[in-house]
Chains A and B, each alone.
Chain A
Amino acid sequence: MENVLLSVSDFVDLTNQTLEYAYPSVSIEGEVTEFKVSQGKWVYFNLKDESSVVGCFMSVWQLRVPIENGMKVVIQGAPKLTKWGRFSITVRAIRPSGEGAIKKSFDLLKATLEKEGLFAPERKRQLPRIPRSVAVVSSTEAAGYADFVKIVNDRWGGLAIQVAHVQVQGESAPDQMIRALHYLNEQETLPEVIILLRGGGSADDLAAFNDEKLVRAIAASRVPTMVAVGHEVDETLADYVADVRAATPSNAAQLLVPDRRDIIRSVRQQTVSLLPAMSQAIERASRTMNEQLQGALHTIERRMELASQTLGSQQQLLGQLNPETVLARGYALLRGKQNVGEMIEVETAKVIVKAEVKNVRKK
């Protein structure tokens, strides 16, 4: 190429071809300076270290996390010489680097999303008590996924579980999870719950769950969501926006389904609890019956007594009416026609006398 005469444009093109061949993709870590967004579409900033500075360019839609001046970041992109002779990196992806920058970016995005009301408690939907159809977005190779499956299988059965296998860390993880969420939300028969899972890891490993587009996709899900990322102490923006936050994948399984052993115990307890009710009912019925019998006995006794009293007085009356009683008092009973010369019979208490009528006179 030494004696080749090039136009300026050819030189720029040639340089870019060489750069593309030599550095198709570079990752650079540095501090952001002069960050600015132009026309709401383009992002410009410089990346610097102690001794050097390089210009960077990217589109707004590629900006997945909040970035500000002074933040330490890692960019992925390709070097390019512009037609204005300026050397810059065309950035494909940018992420905060180091604990401080990750925390700063997290706080900025959290504040923005919170202001929009995405974490509001009134947005939270309840999960069905016992779902029949659930979808899991996770890596099937992740330890967290294995924990979840083990505990779900141990606790409950009869679930139809669809698993969308995705990367749960790294640059492409947010987009994969977003695609899985869209896919599951567009099914003809929707699952009742979508669960995003991953086990523990460093702040960098979990960074995918702080991706703004992913967080918004979770918020927009038609299907209620549960997010279980990392350990109990880990918090991601996906946790905040989900309808239900599980501390760990194992905890997600516990929140998703009841333990069949608890149900069996409760079912047994329910039937056992009926026995006292039955006994009480029998006791009540028996008591009522005894009381009624006692009442009946009292009534019979009262009536017998009354009958006995009535009988006594009637016997007394009858006794008074008995002719023998009258005869005993000295009276006599006379039988026969009371005409002179007629024979009559006179009965006293002790004898019966035959007599002839000698005289009859009127009183």
Chain B
Amino acid sequence: MSGKNKTIQEKMNDLAGQVAWFDGDEFTLEAAIEKFKNAEALATEIETDLGALKNDITVLKQRFDTET
């Protein structure tokens, strides 16, 4: 499945790749079941990641009101 260190964008790219496999020439029914389970798990993982992410806002200490 997906690596834990991957970004959401990378995971979404992975998912798109897995979905595309179903339309490709390598499609086999045996592999499809496994691929489908993986895609479903990856989708759940992305959903969880998205829900948990928070932004980190830092106001710079640097002052801009005077020439340094």
A158 touches B27 (CB 8 A): no
Binds B, one of A20-28, A89-97, A204-212, A273-281: A273-281
A282 touches B29 (CB 8 A): yes
Residue in B9, B36, B62, B67 whose beta carbon sits within 8 Å of that of A164 in the complex:
B62
B7 touches A132 (CB 8 A): yes
- Chain B residues, Cβ within 8 Å of A167: 65
* 8 A-B pairs with the lowest CB-CB distances in the bound complex, closest first: A157-B53, A158-B53, A179-B64, A260-B50, A176-B64, A159-B55, A277-B22, A163-B59
- Chain A residues, Cβ within 8 Å of B9: 129-130
A270 touches B43 (CB 8 A): yes
Residue in A152, A165, A166, A271 whose beta carbon sits within 8 Å of that of B43 in the complex:
A271
B56 touches A160 (CB 8 A): yes
A263 touches B46 (CB 8 A): yes
Contact residues of A between 53 and 79, Cβ < 8 Å to B:
none
**How many angstroms from the CA of A172 to the CA of B67 in the assembled complex?**
11
The count of chain A contact residues (Cβ–Cβ below 8 Å) is 40
B54 touches A264 (CB 8 A): no
- Chain B residues, Cβ within 8 Å of A268: 43, 47
Contact residues of A between 248 and 277, Cβ < 8 Å to B:
260, 263-264, 267-268, 270-271, 273-275, 277
- Chain B residues, Cβ within 8 Å of A267: 12, 15, 43, 46-47
- Chain A residues, Cβ within 8 Å of B33: 278
Residue in A149, A271, A285 whose beta carbon sits within 8 Å of that of B57 in the complex:
A149
Judged by a CB distance under 8 angstroms, whether B58 is at the interface is yes
Chain B nearest CB, measured from A338 CB (Å): 80
B57 touches A161 (CB 8 A): yes
Chain A nearest CB, measured from B10 CB (Å): 10
- Can you name 12 A-B residue pairings with CB atoms under 8 Å? A130-B8, A132-B7, A161-B58, A180-B64, A183-B64, A267-B12, A267-B47, A268-B47, A271-B36, A271-B39, A271-B43, A281-B29
Contact residues of A between 222 and 252, Cβ < 8 Å to B:
none
- Chain A residues, Cβ within 8 Å of B53: 156-158, 260
Chain B interface (Cβ < 8 Å from any Cβ of A): 7-9, 12, 15-16, 19, 22-23, 27, 29, 32-33, 36, 39-40, 43, 46-47, 50-60, 62, 64-65, 67-68
- Chain B residues, Cβ within 8 Å of A140: 59
- Chain B residues, Cβ within 8 Å of A180: 64
Known: A183-B64, A278-B36, A285-B29. 6 other contacts (CB 8 A): A165-B64, A166-B64, A179-B64, A264-B46, A274-B36, A278-B22
- Chain B residues, Cβ within 8 Å of A130: 8-9
Given A157-B53, A264-B47, are A164 and B64 neighbors across the interface (CB < 8 Å)?
yes
- Chain B residues, Cβ within 8 Å of A179: 64, 67-68
Contact with B along A295-322 (1 / 0, CB 8 A): 0000000000000000000000000000
- Chain B residues, Cβ within 8 Å of A270: 15-16, 19, 39, 43
Chain A nearest CB, measured from B47 CB (Å): 5
**How many angstroms from the CA of A158 to the CA of B19 in the assembled complex?**
25
Given A281-B29, A282-B29, are A159 and B64 neighbors across the interface (CB < 8 Å)?
no
Judged by a CB distance under 8 angstroms, whether A162 is at the interface is yes
Given A159-B56, A271-B39, are A277 and B23 neighbors across the interface (CB < 8 Å)?
yes
- Chain B residues, Cβ within 8 Å of A176: 64-65
Residue on B with the closest CB to A166?
Answer: B64
Residue in B39, B51, B55, B58 whose beta carbon sits within 8 Å of that of A274 in the complex:
B39
